[in-house]
Every structure is written in C-alpha cells, then in structure tokens.
Amino acid sequence: MRPRLREDVRFVESPDGAYIHGDHGTCTLRGNQAFALLSRLAPALDGRRTLAELTAGLSEDRRDIVERLIRSLAELRFVVDNRGSRPHGLTAAERDVYADEISFIGYAHDSPEWRFERLRRARAVLVGEGPLLAAVLEACVRSGWKRLRVLTTGTTSGGGDAVALRDVVERARRDPEQAVRIEAADDPAAAGLDAIADRPDLVLQIARDPADLIATARACREADVPLGQALVRPAEVWLTAVGPIARTEAESGWRRLGALPHATSAHTGEDWLIGPVPAVVAAMLALAAFSHLTGMDSADPEDRYGTAVPGRPDHAANAVPHPPAAVPYASPAGAPPGDGAGPALTRVDLRNLDTFRHRFLPHPGADHRSCPGHTPEDVCAAVDALAAAVPIGRDRLLERTGEIVDARLGLLGLLDEQDLAQTPLAVCRATVSDPFGVLPGWAPPPEVVGWGEDRPTARARCLLAALATYGALAAHGARTAAAADMVWGVEVPTGRPRAVPIGVLGPVGTRYRAPAGVAAGLSWAEAVAAGLRAHCEAHLAALDPDDLPVVQPPSGHLGRQLELTGEAVEVRDATAALGVPAFRFGVPGRPAVVSAAATHAAALLDGRERVLLGWQARTTGQLAYADPGPTRFPGHAAGDPPPDDPYGVRLMAEALRATGRVPVAIPLDHDPELARLLPFLVQVVLADD
C-alpha cells in the first residue's frame, strides 16, 4: 500500500484529539497525541512511500500505532492507495485534452488513465428525442465519449432533429477521434430494441412512454447490456440508476411508477424543459453513465475508493466516524451495491429542480420474477409453510413501513393519519397501488382505514388492511396475465386442496374494495380467522334482527364512551344464529354493525369499537371511514378461547360449513416482495359443499 491523503481532507485539534473533515464525511481521532501524530504523518502521506517504508525504523509499538492509524483513515476514505497504476493506452494528446476528467477520476480512485480509457473504448448508444436528448448528447461528447451512436425518434419533418443533433456534436466535440453516428428512427419502441442489436457497452434511453422503457429494459436484461433511462413528463423527469438491469431493476421501477398513476404531478400546460433545465438533468444522467463506464461505481474492493486495504482493521476504538451531512439530491447512479439501499429512481421536479430519491421493491410482473405455483401440491406446501412460520410482531411490522410506503413507487402510496380526527379512536388511512393495472387508469386508488384505541394499533391495522387489498389486486392481475380460470386453495380446517373458479373471487369495480374474506394477520391463523370473521358477519347481517334477542352486556370502557356520545345503541346477541360468538349493534337511522369473533368478549369489544368509529366519522364530517367495509385484520384478543383454537378458526369454519358452504383459504402470495415482508395474506372464499 502507498497511502495518499486526499486533497480535500482537513484536520484540526479538538478536545478529544483530532477532528478530521473530508468530502466523504468526518470523524474524530481520539487520543492526547492524535493531533500531533497526524500532523507529523500527513506530509509523508503523499503516495510515494509504501506503508513499510513509512514505518521503517519505528519500534514495534509505534509501528503498530501508525499502521492502525493509516488503515483507519483508509477505511474511512480519507486516505487512498496510490500504488502502481494499471497500464493504459491513452495518447499524450488524450491525456492533455482530458486532463480534467482524468484528474476527477483520480481524485477518488486509482488508475485514472486506465479508467478513462475504458470510457474512450466503450461503444454507447443514445436513444430518444427532444431537448433532453440533445443535452445528454452534449454532456457525453464533452466528457470524452469516443464511440457513440444516436437514434433520434423525433418527428420533425425534413430531419430537423438529426440536423440539430449534428450541430450539438460539432459544438461539443473536443478531439477529432470522437465518432458520433446519428440515425433517425420512426418507432420509439423499435429504436430501443435496435439500440442493443450489436451488444453495445451501454444504452442510454430517453422516452415519454413507460412502455418503451419497459420493452428496452427487458431486452437489455436478456442481452446483458447495461442501461440507463429517463422518463420525461410535463413537470418532472425520472432517472434510473445506470448499470446492469439485475442491479438497477429498471423495469420494476417503471411498473411501480405506473401502479400509482394519480400521484403524478399535475400538468399545468407549461413547458418546463427549457433554458438551462435540460442541461442540469442531463448532467445527472451523464455523470451516472460516466461513473459506470469508468468503474467509479464498481463494487469490486480493488476498484472502490479507500478499500484497497487488506483485511478490515479494528479502528472503532480510536476513529469515530460521524454521520454524513444531508445532501440536496441523490445521484441517479444510486447507492453502491451491497449497502442495502435497494433499487431506486431519482425524480427531478422541473419546476424548481428539486431532486428526490424514491426506493422501490422489485415488481412481480418483471420478466425475471416468478409467481407461485398453481398446483394442489404447491398450495398445500405453501399453506403448511405459512402455518409453521413464526408470527410477526406488531412493532416489527411497523418497522417495515419504510420499505412499503412511498408516495410514487410504494406498494402503498400513503399510510398516515393526515387530518383525521384522533379521538376517541385513533384513525389511519392508506392508499393502495394497483401493480398490474387491474383498475381503469382514471379510477381513484383504493383506500382503506385502520382504527384503534392508540396510534400504533390504528397504524398496524391500517397496514394489514392495505396490504391485504394490495395482495388481492396483485393476485387478480397475475391470474389475469396467466389466463387462469381456476385457482387452488385449501379447505378450512381440513387442509384438503380445492379448486375454486375465478368468478368466485369477486368482481373488480372502478371504486375498488376488496371482497369479504380478503384479510391479513400477524400469523397465518390470525389472517384466516379475520377472513372467516368477515364471512360470518356477512351471513349474520342478512338475518332479520327481530329474530335475535336484545341483551344488556357489561358496559366496559368502550360501552361507557358510547353512553357519553348519546347514541341509542341496541345490542342483540347473534350467537345462536350461527354458533359463533356474535353481536348485532343497531343505531336508529344507521346501518347495523355485526361483530363475530372467537369469544363473546372479543366480539363485544370489536363491535362497540366500530360503532364508536361510525359516530366519530359522522360527528367530525369525515365520512370516508364511516363504513370501513369487511373485516380485514384480527380484532381484540379478549375472553378465554380454547387453547387449541385461540383465534376461532375451527369454530367459525365449522359454523359456515353448517350453512352448506365450505370455506377455502387461498394464499395471496403473488408478489414475492410482499410475501417477504408480510407472508400472512389470504382470501377466504365460500364454495358449495
């Protein structure tokens, strides 16, 4: 190792030792002699001496201290390894013309000439139209790209786009060896496929139609061609990372974006892609492409800045890194592979050039994803695995919200209390994405609510209801894509496989509400119990209330709250009608609330809670949650259920069977990423006995 202190690094004495600052972060080097040692050592860290030469003549203890210090600084990216650069074939003229670019690479990486030569030798293709295409072309040519093919899909008569692009090339060209071939293409979709015909080293695509981007992303995955893309919209531009599709997941990003169409910025009719704006956006994409072609974004430890140190020294005791400062935007190249950040798209608001990074999960419809099997053996194995899986705690589920919710690319677009009244019950609302476009594009996104006596309970219930709804939409879309007419589930509680016609699973309307029986839980038993409860409650709601006896159950804290509201609530015991603990709550002039559960105590609590929710919605004028729909999540754990049937699964299933209907549980596992985060999603349907 030939350690070199980076030019941007500064250090000062601090009460704890030495405070070090650089472009990549800060740290405190602890110790009374830390500043003095670093001050003496810094001038020697010029990359000319090896680590052994720097420590020659020192005692063993002093040598160990210096070596640990240098390795710590290298691990924290304040020191780089300046050992012999790899050979390159750049000419003296190239090194002179592109000295700034080579210096930029060498600022943070070894072998800058060798890396820049990679860019010069790369065969790249640029596809698209409009001002952003011209700006990206200019940025690429100015940064030294040598072999570039441009496919312009512009429709200006007389080849105006191609002529304008040639003018851009002549204006940006920096050396006579830069060869840029410009071709006109009539069909944007065909142009994207044509771009990879000769297996280039990189494709950059700019388009207005996500379908064109998806088609190119699929083709690049099959051909193993790195790709960077930009989606141009009236008030915003979306940028993918640049690199192999297996890392960037570009197709999934565009599909996730299309699943929440109503979140798109409103089109004011103004053209925001004017003036310096295209150049600013183009610089982001061009820099990401430059980083990819030169290996600056490489995950190879020998290519990554500051990691060419053998082993991983234990520097935590002396060098304490500080969190990096917030940055105004994230590079479209994304975070380096392996940092756990996951794939993301970068959104640029053209109105003010604010830039945002949106993470997303791989989409189940991406061509490399596989849906679960559809045989009896598959579904039985899946249910057995779900039944044996460890339950998820409520807090653990809420911790996963960050992976699930994003206003533009999330499984859920929203999970928030917003301006909803939070007393006497906490209420949370969620909007759900439509991953396969099952609903019309103009239809509003499905909404669900969750409620409870505290905020975490309301949020967890809302999250369960929203993910159950998402799971139902994903399953419907996957089945439609597979042209399936039957789906397999297991009978409850026997576990026998059973085929169910697709039509039994329920219709899809423009204002979508998942059918009764779609539910989620913190365990498989909880989810199935919630689905069974919905069917029991629907059955009991159809009965004549006059056939049910009026009762006066103990008030409890929820009963006392209802008394304070002044609501005239009539409670009838519906247990005998189905053999499941259940109550019917009637309020004059309002739809009745029916609650069924594993125990009378749980049914009473859940029912009173829903009556109180309805009163809260009407009183505050927030009627969106006055009718929350069928049960989607487990209710209160109250009473003393049998130890072998704590959620009432067997009790409710046998009660429904007694009516001539057989409950069938169908796992909603058509999105592998959702199944990873919350596997306990089910649709319980009733089949004929």
Beta strands in 340-475 (DSSP E): 344-349, 355-359, 412-416, 426-432, 447-452
Peptide bond into 112 cis (omega under 30): no
Confidence of residue 267 (pLDDT cuts 50, 70, 90): low
Dist. CA 170–CA 163, nearest whole Å: 11
Task: Give the tens place of pLDDT for each residue, 442-489.
Answer: 888 999 999 999 999 999 999 999 999 999 999 998 888 777 788 999
Do residues 459 and 428 lie in contact, with contact meaning Cβ atoms separated by under 8 Å? yes
**pLDDT at 535 > cutoff 90:** yes
Higher pLDDT, 506 or 353: 353
| Residues 407/445, Cβ–Cβ less than 8 Å | no
**3-state secondary structure at position 88:** coil
pLDDT computed for residue 316 by the predictor = 33
Q: Has residue 303 got a pLDDT over 60? A: no
Mean pLDDT of 1-11: 86
Q: How far apart are CA 671 and CA 435, in angstroms?
A: 9
- Per CATH, the architecture of 122-299+325-359 is what? 3-Layer(aba) Sandwich (3.40)
Question: Helix (H, G, I), strand (E, B), or coil: what is residue 270?
Answer: coil
The residues pairing with 359 across neighbouring beta strands, listed in sequence order, are 344
- Supply the mean pLDDT for the chain: 88
Cβ atoms within 10 Å of 313's Cβ, excluding its own: 16
Task: Give the residue carrying structure tokens 């695509």.
Answer: 205
State the DSSP code for 208: S
Q: What is the pLDDT of residues 73-121, one digit of tens each?
A: 888 888 887 776 788 999 999 999 999 999 888 877 878 999 999 999 9
Topology (CATH) of 3-81: Outer Surface Protein A; domain 3 (3.90.930)
> What are the boundaries of each domain within the chain?
3-81, 122-299+325-359, 376-688
| Sign of the four-CA dihedral 119, 120, 123, 125 | positive
Q: What is the pLDDT of residue 186?
A: 79
Whole-angstrom distance, CA of residue 580 vs CA of residue 577? 8
Task: Please give the residue that has the higher pLDDT: either 264 or 631.
Answer: 631
With 0-12 / 13-18 / 19 or more C-beta atoms within 10 angstroms meaning exposed / middle / buried, residue 595 is: buried
Bridge-based pairing state of the strands 123-128 and 147-152: parallel
Q: How far apart are CA 133 and CA 138, in angstroms?
A: 9
φ/ψ (deg, to 5) at 586? -110, 135
Task: Tell me if 199 sits within 8 A of 222, measured CB to CB.
Answer: no
**More confident of the two residues 357 and 332:** 357
CB 229 within 8 A of CB 207: yes
> Can you give the pLDDT at residue 390?
96
- Cα separation, 69 vs 313, in Å, equals 9
Q: Look-up: residue for tokens 């999540």?
A: 633
- DSSP states of 537-557: HHHHHTS-GGGS-B-----HH
Alpha-carbon distance 439 to 432, whole Å? Answer: 12
Mean pLDDT of 517-541: 97
Are 638 and 553 in contact by the 8 Å Cβ rule? The answer is no
Burial of 60 by CB count in 10 Å (0-12 exposed, 13-18 middle, 19+ buried)?
Answer: exposed
pLDDT at 6: 84
Question: Which of 369-378, 397-406, 502-511 is predicted with the least confidence, judged by mean pLDDT?
Answer: 369-378
- List of long-range contacts for 451-454, beta carbons under 8 Å, 24+ apart: 451/425, 451/426, 451/427, 451/609, 451/613, 451/625, 451/628, 452/425, 452/426, 452/609, 453/425, 453/426, 453/609, 454/426
Distance of CA 215 to the CA centre of its chain: 21
Position 301 pLDDT exceeds 50: no
How far out from the chain centre does Cα 532 lie? Answer: 31
Least confident of 81-95, 152-166, 177-191, 565-579: 152-166
H/E element, 38:
helix 34-41
Task: Identify the three-state secondary structure at position 672.
Answer: helix
pLDDT score of 395: 95
**Residue 477 · residue 508 · CB < 8 Å:** no
What confidence tens digit (pLDDT) does each residue in 307-353 have?
A: 222 222 333 334 544 433 322 233 333 333 333 468 999 999 999 99
Per-residue pLDDT at 302: 35
Q: Does residue 553 come out as left (phi exceeding 0), alpha (psi in the -120 to 50 range) or beta?
A: beta
Token readout for 650 is 């067997």
Helix residue spans in 482-589 (DSSP H) = 524-541, 556-565, 575-578
Percent of the chain at pLDDT > 90 equals: 67
Query: Mind listing the pLDDT tens digit for each residue in 565-599?
Result: 998 999 999 999 999 999 999 999 899 999 999 99
* Average pLDDT of the residues in 611-635: 93
CA distance 621 to 461: 22
8-state DSSP, 405? B
495: number of Cβ within 10 Å? 12
Question: E strands along 350-437, which residues?
Answer: 355-359, 412-416, 426-432
Bridge partners (DSSP) of residue 127 are: 151, 205
Structure tokens at 184: 């006109």
Residue 657 has pLDDT above 80, yes or no: yes
Confidence of residue 188 (pLDDT cuts 50, 70, 90): confident
- The whole-number pLDDT of residue 299 equals 43
How far is 145 from 262, CA to CA, in rounded Å? 39
* pLDDT, position 293: 96
At residue 194 the predicted structure's pLDDT band, cuts being 50, 70 and 90, is confident
What's the pLDDT at 309? Answer: 25
Query: What local confidence, expressed as pLDDT, does residue 373 receive?
Result: 60
What confidence tier does 141 reach under pLDDT thresholds 50, 70, 90? very high
Q: What is the mean pLDDT of residues 423-437?
A: 96
Phi then psi for residue 419, to 5 deg, are: -105, 20
Contact 336, 297 (CB under 8 A): yes
* pLDDT score for 370: 56
pTM metric for this prediction: 0.84
